[in-house]
A and B are shown apart, each in its own frame.
Chain A
Amino acid sequence: DIQMTQSPSTLSASVGDRVTITCRASQSIGSWLAWYQQKPGKAPKLLIYMASSLESGVPSRFSGSGSGTEFTLTISSLQPDDFATYYCQHYSTYSPAWTFGQGTKVEIK
């Protein structure tokens, strides 16, 4: 089974900071990776799909990159609404199960 490892688990940052979250796969997954934002009591919100495609309506300060086994989510200038938990997800047409990273909580510094 493919394992997804996210780092860091917690990140303290200030408004305006550039923030980067990393997700590593235990084997190559091509570009089959999504990123979600989740706020307390809410469903996950899709930000990025296919590693680097921005979901419609998501601010352009969010970007994704990577392929194979290493991926990053970058927030170019952190805004107050961005304090939340972020998850990476491996999904694929070729492997049925979904696998999630452990999550990264972005906190106010």
Chain B
Amino acid sequence: QVQLVESGGGVVQPGRALRLSCAASGFTFNTYTMHWVRQAPGKGLEWVALILYDGSNKYYADSVKGRFTISRDNSKNTLYLQLNSLRPEDTAVYYCARAGELSWGQGTLVTVSS
């Protein structure tokens, strides 16, 4: 069955960086567009970024453009999100999700605090 497992979250100081990973299994990873979605504590869902199946195009929410970078390694069935210049308002659970037949991971918590 489809499985998406995020990792890499943690506590980080403002201005620092973090890289999240999402390991995919149970489907042909290199044929699917993939997304990152986040949810701040007590808040709703916010789309963050997407990358096409072959990595040829990437799109970002205005709130993270220029600071976050989405990438993928189809040989490792893994999606990444590089978070740079982190701010307290980036504190959230970050989910990876598959487009098409919608599937989500369980999320990884990023806390930005001094």
Contact = CB atoms under 8 A, between A and B. Distances in A.
Interface in B86-102: 95, 99, 102
Interface string A25-43: 0000000001000000011
Interface residues of A, number: 17
B45 A100 contact: yes
A96 to B, nearest CB: 5
B44 A102 contact: yes
A99 B61 CA distance: 10
A96 B56 CA distance: 13
Contact of B107 (A34, A43, A91, A97): A43
Interface residues on B, range: 10 to 19
| Secondary structure dominating the interface of A | loop
B46 A97 contact: no
A98 B35 CA distance: 9
Interface string A4-47: 00000000000000000000000000000010000000111010
B45 A44 contact: yes
Interface string B33-44: 101010000001
B46 A43 contact: no
Interface of B: 33, 35, 37, 44-47, 50, 57, 59, 61, 95, 99, 102-107
Given A44-B45, A97-B47, 11 more contacts: A43-B95, A43-B104, A43-B105, A46-B103, A49-B102, A87-B44, A87-B45, A96-B50, A96-B57, A99-B47, A100-B47
